[in-house]
Amino acid sequence: MKFKRTAASVLAALTAVSAVSVCAFAEENKVELTTLDLTDEMKYMEYLGDGYFLYGSNAAYIDGFVHLEKDDNGELTFTDVETDIDFSEKNIAWWNGNNDGNGEYFQLYKKDENGNVAKRYVMHIDAAANKVTTAYTMPADWSYTADDGYTVAIDGDSYVVYDPKGKVKSTQANKTNPGYYGVTASMYGNKYAGYYIEKSNEKVVEDSGDRFVYNDYTLYGIDKKGKLVELYTKNANGMVLHEGSNFVLLQGVEVIYPDDGGIIYHRYLTYINLETGEITEDPVEIFDDVESQAIYNDKVILSVDKKQYLYDIKTQEPVNDKKYKYIYTCDEGKTYRVQNTDDKWGYLDENGEEIGEWYDDADAFYGDYAPVVKDGKGYLIDRNFNRVSDMIDATGVYSFDDDLFQFRNGETDNVFATYNSTEPAPSDDTSEPADDTSEPSDDTSEPADDTSEPADVNNPETGVGGVSLTFGLAALAGAAVVVYRKKR
């Protein structure tokens, strides 16, 4: 989201901030960075999406919400956010937000005097009114709220689904069911609010002194009315569910009993497209684990021998022979962010091919740009991997939103950054040119001799080729900030 909202009253506790507009950059740069340091009151922060943050002076409790936006001059400013939560008793903590920092709902909880969870709050961000208010509360033992406000919760021995207004939708699944295996919430708020796995038909197999227990595992989707929809059944010794934006991926071990005796074990992946209902079963012989994160374009990240590689579910083979220390999906699968064995960061395209160059640190593309660090300098790059901004001292970076990033310089110097275009805005003049009906001139005069000296392009007094450095200071310099996200 672009930060375009009208400023509310400026938060009094945040007057000790400094905004620095850095305007010294090469001519080819398309944008200039504007940075904002933070105060001690905001030492710990969590991004909620759309420019909204919760913050606290320590990691234990929350002190409030703020909205980060651009003012009319393109500078970053904080504005106060109206809320119905009382933070004065220092007993409100953050539980879970949405998966990607761009939903409208997240969850807080209140602790009692013994430090136990007394109540859970599902919060709603009303960006138009600049409010963060309680959508509903619940006494659940455990729960997870998705982007769209649906919550799957454990309440005693039962599992329930709450809709965005807090109405309870009963389910058929509960912990006292002999076939209970597990329940999980949807992180994406897609077709189902959550998933339930049931086991049945237990079979015990002894082989060379080892005892194995196998079951039929049935996966159900919990729809948003609280009903169970059967999706898949497999005989295995266990099942692990991973969720993507429009599918689920099951990881397990299949047992086969040949007619001539013995036992054959196969690790497998099962890919279920939630939109089409298509099921792809893929026996992958060698892999250690599946990375449980958003997967797009029928690609999944597998690990083997502590190295990760990109695997194509449809072709049932690795996309290439490249392996990395870490692979992260970003930009909805248009790019992947990877760390190589030399601890450098770079990018893959959607086909798994390396693109661009390697950096000391790099984060995801949001919109047109991504933040990177190379040789101690942080800056933005475009999708052609050209530097488009000025450079600032940095050792690490984060991406939060379309035009909101963080640059870190060591352990103590951390700033938020946005950008403003340096290219002139297109003209809004739509008037038609006047018709020229004048007769051409019969000018036969000789041109005058030009004896003037050429302008000195390095002389700032000529106004040509000069480089200016402008600083805008507001109050005192702020202290460091540590900004947390659930994952990079």
d(CA 333, CA 486) in angstroms, rounded, equals: 19
Strands (DSSP E) contained in 259-306 are: 264-273, 279-282, 289-290, 299-304
The pLDDT value recorded for residue 1 is: 43
Sequence-distant (≥ 6) Cβ neighbours of residue 458 within 8 angstroms:
465
Q: Model's pTM, two decimal places?
A: 0.75
Sequence-distant (≥ 6) Cβ neighbours of residue 343 within 8 angstroms:
325
The pLDDT value recorded for residue 355 is: 96
- The pairing of beta strand 92-96 with beta strand 82-83: unpaired
- The pairing of beta strand 307-312 with beta strand 317-318: antiparallel
What is residue 105's three-state secondary structure? strand
Sequence-distant (≥ 6) Cβ neighbours of residue 34 within 8 angstroms:
19, 20, 21, 22, 74, 75, 76, 417, 418, 419, 420
d(CA 480, CA 38) in angstroms, rounded, equals: 6
The pLDDT value recorded for residue 283 is: 82
- The pairing of beta strand 377-381 with beta strand 370-374: antiparallel
The pLDDT value recorded for residue 206 is: 76
Write out the chain's pLDDT in tens, 488 residues: 444 333 333 333 333 333 444 433 444 678 999 999 877 777 788 888 889 999 988 778 899 999 998 888 889 999 999 999 999 989 999 876 544 556 789 999 999 888 888 999 999 999 999 999 999 999 878 888 888 899 998 887 888 899 999 999 877 777 778 888 888 888 876 789 999 999 999 888 777 667 778 889 999 999 998 889 999 999 888 888 888 777 888 888 777 677 777 777 777 889 898 888 899 888 887 778 887 655 777 888 998 888 999 998 888 899 999 999 999 988 777 899 999 999 999 999 989 999 999 999 999 998 899 999 999 999 999 999 999 999 999 999 999 988 899 999 887 677 889 998 876 555 555 555 555 554 544 544 444 444 444 333 333 333 333 322 222 223 323 333 334 343 34
d(CA 81, CA 88) in angstroms, rounded, equals: 15
